[in-house]
Structure 1
Amino acid sequence: MTSTDLPGDRPFVLLATRAQDGPADEEYALFLRFTGLPPERLRRVRLERESMPDLDLDEISGILVGGSPFNASDPIERKSAVQQRVEAEIAALVEAVVARDTPFLGACYGVGTLGTHLGAPIDGTYAEPISVVDVTLTAEGRHDPLAAGLPETFPAFVGHKEAISELPSGAVLLASSPTCPVQMFRLGQNVYATQFHPELDLDGIVTRIHAYAAFGYFAADELDLTLAAVRRAPVEAPSLLLRTFVERYAR
């Protein structure tokens, strides 16, 4: 299916929080590429620069959330005013999204936003260094329509300082990995979050490695090791989630 074959004309919304233009623009380009959407049907909102717009959930097809340098589990005194504003605005939106079961797919930061809404424990217990890990679908994941076309086990890019350490009540576990038990889950029928990054290719994660080298994801002398880690295996399957999400929910 091409973008011109998609039903309806209501846009999807990408919520982004990256202050650096290079990684932010590349992230948007990757979402466009992997969803197959034209720019006019993927509205980007850079929340680190502007407040959340008044989104009419009846007038959009769905919401995507990109990765973020923000950590939900950081103590309040370490959170900037911008981060606190963004978290409050996303929390209000997530409350409405979950209540209405609006199509939503949060990549990495989506786990933090949905997990916070559900009161799930979010901490560093299952943090993963920037790398490629093998993600395996659960029995529920193998039958979930969003995961249609995914192999039972597939390589995926990860890199996060925090994760959900216990699946919250009401959530359905869809995928896991040996180093992070909650890699993907669903709420209701249409609200999803992944800990891994379905929006990244190798060039995209290399860009982020260089852009966030001083953000504590790896030690100063581990740049080459980190670059080697993301080349461990080719990563292709996760992006299917984005295309399936668009094909399922475009209206």
Structure 2
Amino acid sequence: MKPFLLIATRAEDDTADGEYEQILRFGNLDEKDLVRIRLEAAPMPDLNLDDYSGVIVGGSPFTGSDPIEKKTETQLRVEAEISTLLDEIVPRDFPFLGACYGVGTLLGHQGAVIDSTYSEPVGGVTIKLTEEGKKDPLLADIPDSFGAFVGHKEAVTVFPAHAVLLASSDTCPVQMFRIKENLYGTQFHPELDAPGIAQRIRTYKNSGYFEPEEADTLIEQTAQWDVSDANRVVAAFTARYATD
């Protein structure tokens, strides 16, 4: 099988490794099946998409809608390099799954308006499939309503007309979408279970997602959520697009 390519942007080794391990586990992949590029650490190497089954973009501490003067040189480079990669991925309709940061990258690339209007605090939410979502092959075996973890400072305010809305929530209208046939993004984190989000809470407790003193309470609250159906999105993607 050709491996999948994971584009990661987290600077903290333990959190970056946790994300990699969770995608391996929920994607039913061995290490040989998932090549990781830590884009925050070094520029994008030369890539041939034909060497891969698909591309996965993990979550990120970067907020794409921040004013340019607030962005670091690393963030600007990462955004430019992912955008250049999408210049090839989108016309080819090459299998793509973006988790949380995937909304800002893929939909931003496709002309969406991304801002703080529908930001969501860290925690569990109920995701509801749209009629199109109920028909999508990636969601065929997933209930119409399921729990998932979120935590983001930005989200879609103006959704592109050519994108297909697959899932929503009461607090954020765009929770999952598709462009063309094979390009997917989720605002929720399909790669996270309770231990995974607990690690993120500890890592980013001073990053403005919540008050630092709330961390222990958030860990207790998120531990009560069943997000196993959200995790199945990763497995559905890797199963559908694995190629020899």
Indicate the TM-score class for this superposition, using the shorter chain for normalisation. Answer: over 0.9
Shift of 1:166: 2.0
Q: Which residue of 1 aligns with 2:163?
A: 171
Q: Which residue of 1 aligns with 2:29?
A: 37
Q: Which residue of 2 aligns with 1:6?
A: none
Return the match for 1:17 from 2, 5, 9. 9
List per-residue Cα deviations over 1:165-185 (Å, max 9, x = no partner): 121121000000000000000
**Partner SS for 2:175:** strand
| 1:185 maps to amino acid | F
Q: Which moved more, 1:223-232 or 1:204-213?
A: 223-232
CA distance in 1, matches of 2:216, 2:239: 38
Q: Which residue of 1 aligns with 2:97?
A: 105
CA distance in 1, matches of 2:119, 2:216: 20
- Spell out the pairing of 1:87-166 with structure 2 (5 A cutoff): 87-166=79-158
| 1:241 maps to amino acid | V
RMSD: 0.9
**Partner SS for 1:99:** helix
Contact 2:194 2:225 in 1 (8 A): no
Return the match for 1:66 from 18, 37, 58. 58
| 1:28 maps to amino acid | Y
Consecutive aligned runs of 4 or more in structure 1 exceeding 3 Å deviation: none
Q: Which residue of 2 aligns with 1:200?
A: 192
Contact 2:112 2:160 in 1 (8 A): yes
| 2:184 maps to amino acid | Y
Shift of 1:159: 0.3
Q: Which moved more, 1:171-180 or 1:53-62?
A: 53-62
List per-residue Cα deviations over 1:207-235 (Å, max 9, x = no partner): 00000011000013322332233234221
Shift of 1:137: 0.4
List per-residue Cα deviations over 1:162-203 (Å, max 9, x = no partner): 000121121000000000000000000000000000000100
List per-residue Cα deviations over 1:112-146 (Å, max 9, x = no partner): 00121112110110000001000000000000001
**Partner SS for 1:96:** helix
What are structure 1's unaligned runs of at least 5 residues? 1-8
Contact 2:129 2:167 in 1 (8 A): yes
**Partner SS for 1:222:** helix
CA distance in 2, matches of 1:214, 1:187: 35
| 1:48 maps to amino acid | E
CA distance in 1, matches of 2:65, 2:220: 29
CA distance in 1, matches of 2:116, 2:49: 33
Q: Which moved more, 1:106-115 or 1:46-55?
A: 46-55
| 2:223 maps to amino acid | R
Q: Which residue of 1 aligns with 2:221?
A: 229
Contact 1:130 1:229 in 2 (8 A): no
CA distance in 1, matches of 2:241, 2:116: 33
Scaled by the length of structure 2, what TM-score is found?
Answer: 0.97
Contact 1:147 1:241 in 2 (8 A): yes
Q: Which moved more, 1:218-227 or 1:106-115?
A: 218-227
CA distance in 2, matches of 1:38, 1:221: 38
Q: Which residue of 2 aligns with 1:239?
A: 231
**Partner SS for 1:182:** coil
Q: Which moved more, 1:114-123 or 1:133-142?
A: 114-123
CA distance in 2, matches of 1:96, 1:141: 26
